[in-house]
Amino acid sequence: MTEAFFYQEWAQLEDALARTRSRVVLRCKHTLARLVFDALVQCRRQGLQVQLSLPDTALNRQSALAWERLSAIGGQISWRPAALDGAAADASFPALAVALDDACVFTGKLGAGICPADDASEVPGLVCWGDADFVRQTRQVIDEEAGWGAARADAGAVASAASAVQLRQGGSAAQQAWLARVLQNHALATQAEIAETQRQMALFDHAQEQSLGPLMRDYLRAKAAYLQQLAQQDQTAREEARAAQQRWSDYEAAQAAADQETGPAALDDDALDQLKQLYRKLAMQCHPDRVADADQSRAAQLFQSLQTSYRRGDMAALYALQESVARAGFQAQAAGDTLQSEAGGVAREADTHAAQEEQVALEARLRALRSALGQRHEALEALRTSATWRTLSSQPNWDLWFAQQQQYLQGELQRFEAVLQTQGASAPDPMAHA
Amino acid sequence: MPDTVLPGSALRTVAAQALTLASTNRLGLVAQTLDDVQQRETRVFFEAHLPLLQHCVQNQYPLDAELLAAHAMRWDWRRLSASAAIPWSLDLLSQFEDCWDWDTLSKNRYLPWSGALLQAFVRRWNWGLLSGNPALPWSLELLETFAPLWDWRVLSRNAELPWTGTLITGNTHLWDWVGLSWNDGLPWNVTLMTRFAERWDWTGLSANPGLPLDADLVAEFAPFWNWSWLSRNTQIAADAALLEAYADNWDWTALSQRRLLRWNAELLAQFDSRWDWKALSANAALPWDEALLLRWEDQWDWQALSANTAPWWSDALLERYAERWDWEALSENPALPWSPALVARWAAHWDWDKLSWNPALPWSQDGAAAMLAAHAERWDWAGLSQNEAMPWSQAWVDAFPDQWDWERLSANPALFAALARGSAGPDALAGFIQRYADRWNWATLSGQAALPWSQALYRQCAAHAFAHLVAQHQDFGVCVLPADVVATLLAVLDSGDILPGAEFA
**CA of B8 vs chain A CAs: smallest distance (Å):** 5
The average pLDDT across A378-402 equals 88
CATH number, domain at A88?
A: 3.30.870.10
Task: Check residue B454 and report its DSSP letter.
Answer: -
Listed residues A121, A151, A171: the one ending a domain = A171
Closest CA to B218 of B238, B204, B198, B203: B238
Is the domain of A6 the same as that of A135? yes
**Helix or strand or coil: residue A121?**
coil
Is the domain of A126 the same as that of A184? no
User: Is A400–B426 a contact, with Cβ atoms under 8 angstroms apart?
Assistant: yes
Give the integer Cα–Cα distance in Å for B480 and B42: 8
Number of domains comprising chain A: 2
Is the domain of A87 the same as that of A191? no
Own/partner pairs, A134-140, CB within 8 angstroms, 24+ separation: A134/A105, A134/A181, A134/B3, A135/A99, A135/A102, A135/A103, A135/A104, A135/A105, A136/A102, A137/A174, A137/A177, A137/A178, A137/A181, A138/A25, A138/A97, A138/A99, A138/A105, A138/A107, A138/A178, A139/A25, A139/A99, A140/A174
The average pLDDT across A404-430 equals 77
Give the integer Cα–Cα distance in Å for B97 and B91: 10
Nearest-by-Cβ selection for B141 from A62, A376, A397: A62
B17 to chain A: which residues are within 8 Å by CB? 198, 307
Residue A308, CA atoms < 13 Å, CB-side half-sphere: 14
Is the domain of A139 the same as that of A213? no
Whether pTM > 0.90 for this model: the answer is: no
Residue B201 clears pLDDT 80, i.e. is over it: yes
Is the domain of A100 the same as that of A188? no
Other CB atoms within 10 Å distance of the CB of residue A394:
8
Nearest-by-Cβ selection for A66 from B32, B187, B420: B187
Give the integer Cα–Cα distance in Å for A290 and A188: 10
Determine contact, residues A343/A350, Cβ cutoff 8 Å: no
For an interface test with B, give the residue of A43, A59, A65, A68 to mutate (most B CBs within 10 A): A68
Residue B505 clears pLDDT 80, i.e. is over it: no
pLDDT at B19: 62
The average pLDDT across B210-233 equals 94
Q: Give, in order, the Cα–Cα distances in Å from A227 to each of A216, A233, A410, B44, B92.
A: 16, 10, 18, 20, 41
Is the domain of A367 the same as that of A225? yes
Give the integer Cα–Cα distance in Å for A224 and A231: 10
Query: Of all helices (H) and strands (E), which one includes residue B503?
Result: none
Is the domain of A103 the same as that of A130? yes
What percent of chain A stands above pLDDT 70?
Answer: 83
**CA of B92 vs chain A CAs: smallest distance (Å):** 24
Residue A169 clears pLDDT 90, i.e. is over it: no
Q: Label residue A173 by pLDDT band (50, 70, 90).
A: confident
Nearest-by-Cβ selection for A412 from B1, B40, B162: B40
A300 to chain B: which residues are within 8 Å by CB? 15-16
Is the domain of A65 the same as that of A195? no
Give the integer Cα–Cα distance in Å for B436 and B404: 12
3-state secondary structure B387-445: CCCCCCCHHHHHHCCCCCCHHHHHCCHHHHHHHHHCCCCHHHHHHHHHHCCCCCCHHHH
Is the domain of A222 the same as that of A120? no
pLDDT at B10: 41
pLDDT at B471: 95
Q: Label residue B12 by pLDDT band (50, 70, 90).
A: very low
Nearest-by-Cβ selection for B10 from A205, A253, A368: A368
| Per-residue exposure over B258-275, b if at least 16 CB sit within 10 Å of its own CB, e if not | beebebeeebbeebeeeb
Nearest-by-Cβ selection for B14 from A72, A257, A303: A303
Closest CA to A289 of A406, A181, A423: A181
Closest CA to B184 of B234, B147, B140, B145: B234
Mean pLDDT lowest for which of A195-199, A395-399, B192-196, B201-205? Answer: A395-399
Closest CA to A55 of A79, A33, A34, A35: A79
Residue A402 clears pLDDT 50, i.e. is over it: yes
Q: Label residue A171 by pLDDT band (50, 70, 90).
A: low
CB-based contacts of A369: which residues, under 8 Å, 6+ apart?
A92, A180, A183, A184, A187, B7, B10, B11
Indicate the average pLDDT of chain B: 90
Is the domain of A163 the same as that of A260? no
User: Is B165–A261 a contact, with Cβ atoms under 8 angstroms apart?
Assistant: no
Determine contact, residues A303/B14, Cβ cutoff 8 Å: yes
Residue A156 clears pLDDT 60, i.e. is over it: no
Listed residues A171, A191, A211: the one ending a domain = A171
Give the integer Cα–Cα distance in Å for B70 and B58: 13
Radius of gyration of chain A (CA): 28
Q: Is residue A287 part of a domain?
A: no
Mean pLDDT lowest for which of A287-301, B212-226, B229-243? Answer: A287-301
pLDDT at A39: 92
Q: Given CB atoms, is A198 within the 8 Å cutoff of chain B?
A: yes
| pLDDT per residue as tens digits for the range A207-243 | 999 999 999 999 999 999 999 988 888 888 899 999 9
Supply the range of the domain harboring residue A245.
Answer: 172-264+335-434
Q: Whats the size of chain B, residue-wise?
A: 505
Determine contact, residues B44/B500, Cβ cutoff 8 Å: no
B14 to chain A: which residues are within 8 Å by CB? 191, 287-288, 303
The edge-to-edge listing of strands for the beta sheet with A23-28 is A2-5, A125-129, A104-109, A96-100, A23-28, A49-56, A76-81
Q: Is residue A270 part of a domain?
A: no
**Looking at this protein, which amino acid is placed at residue A432?**
A
Domain boundaries, chain B: 21-61+482-505, 396-474
Q: Is residue A282 part of a domain?
A: no
The average pLDDT across B100-113 equals 96
Give the integer Cα–Cα distance in Å for A207 and B22: 15
Q: Label residue A286 by pLDDT band (50, 70, 90).
A: confident
Nearest-by-Cβ selection for A195 from B13, B18, B162: B18
User: Is A397–B421 a contact, with Cβ atoms under 8 angstroms apart?
Assistant: yes
User: Is A68–B423 a contact, with Cβ atoms under 8 angstroms apart?
Assistant: no
The average pLDDT across A148-155 equals 50
**Helix or strand or coil: residue B19?**
coil
For an interface test with B, give the residue of A70, A185, A404, A406 to mutate (most B CBs within 10 A): A404
pLDDT at B118: 97
Residue A154 clears pLDDT 90, i.e. is over it: no
Q: Locate the DSSP E strands across B302-353.
A: none
Q: Locate the DSSP E strands across A101-239.
A: 104-109, 125-129
B212 to chain A: which residues are within 8 Å by CB? 45, 72-74
pLDDT at A30: 87
Residue A279 clears pLDDT 60, i.e. is over it: yes
| Per-residue exposure over B26-36, b if at least 16 CB sit within 10 Å of its own CB, e if not | bbbbbbebbee
User: Is B162–A201 a contact, with Cβ atoms under 8 angstroms apart?
Assistant: no
Determine contact, residues A374/B13, Cβ cutoff 8 Å: no
Residue A338 clears pLDDT 80, i.e. is over it: no
| Per-residue exposure over B230-246, b if at least 16 CB sit within 10 Å of its own CB, e if not | bbbbebbbbeeebbeeb
Give the phi and the psi of residue A187 in degrees, each rounded to 5: -65, -45
Indicate the average pLDDT of chain A: 81
Residues linked to residue A287 through DSSP beta bridges, in sequence order:
none
**CA of A336 vs chain B CAs: smallest distance (Å):** 5
**Helix or strand or coil: residue A51?**
strand
The average pLDDT across A181-195 equals 88
Listed residues A114, A136, A171: the one ending a domain = A171
Q: For B191, which residue in chain A has the nearest alpha carbon?
A: A72
User: B393 exposed, middle or buried (CB, 10 Å; 0-12, 13-18, 19+)?
Assistant: middle
DSSP result, A295-330: GHHHHHHHHHHHHHHHHHT-HHHHHHHHHHHHHHTP
| pLDDT per residue as tens digits for the range B455-477 | 888 998 999 999 999 999 999 99
Q: For B497, which residue in chain A has the nearest alpha carbon?
A: A434
Give the integer Cα–Cα distance in Å for B58 and B83: 8
**CA of B355 vs chain A CAs: smallest distance (Å):** 32
Give the integer Cα–Cα distance in Å for B389 and B386: 9
Is the domain of A80 the same as that of A125? yes
User: Is A64–B8 a contact, with Cβ atoms under 8 angstroms apart?
Assistant: no
| pLDDT per residue as tens digits for the range A41-100 | 888 877 899 999 999 988 888 776 778 778 878 899 999 888 765 565 677 889 999 999
DSSP result, B164-230: -HHHHHTTTTTS-HHHHHH-TTS---HHHHHHTTTTS-HHHHHH-TTS---HHHHHHTTTT--HHHH
Nearest-by-Cβ selection for A198 from B3, B17, B210: B17
Determine contact, residues B381/B356, Cβ cutoff 8 Å: yes
Give the integer Cα–Cα distance in Å for B69 and B75: 10
Give residues 386 to 425 of A whose Cβ lies within 8 Å of B. Answer: 386-388, 391, 396-397, 399-400, 403-405, 407-409, 411-412
pLDDT at B11: 46
Q: Is residue A50 part of a domain?
A: yes
Q: Given CB atoms, is A64 within the 8 Å cutoff of chain B?
A: yes
**CA of A25 vs chain B CAs: smallest distance (Å):** 20
Is the domain of A353 the same as that of A428? yes
Strands A104-109 and A76-81: unpaired
CB-based contacts of B379: which residues, under 8 Å, 6+ apart?
B352, B355, B356, B372
Give the integer Cα–Cα distance in Å for B261 and B255: 8
Q: Is residue A67 part of a domain?
A: yes
Give residues 127 to 166 of A whose Cβ lies within 8 Å of B. Answer: 127, 129, 131, 134
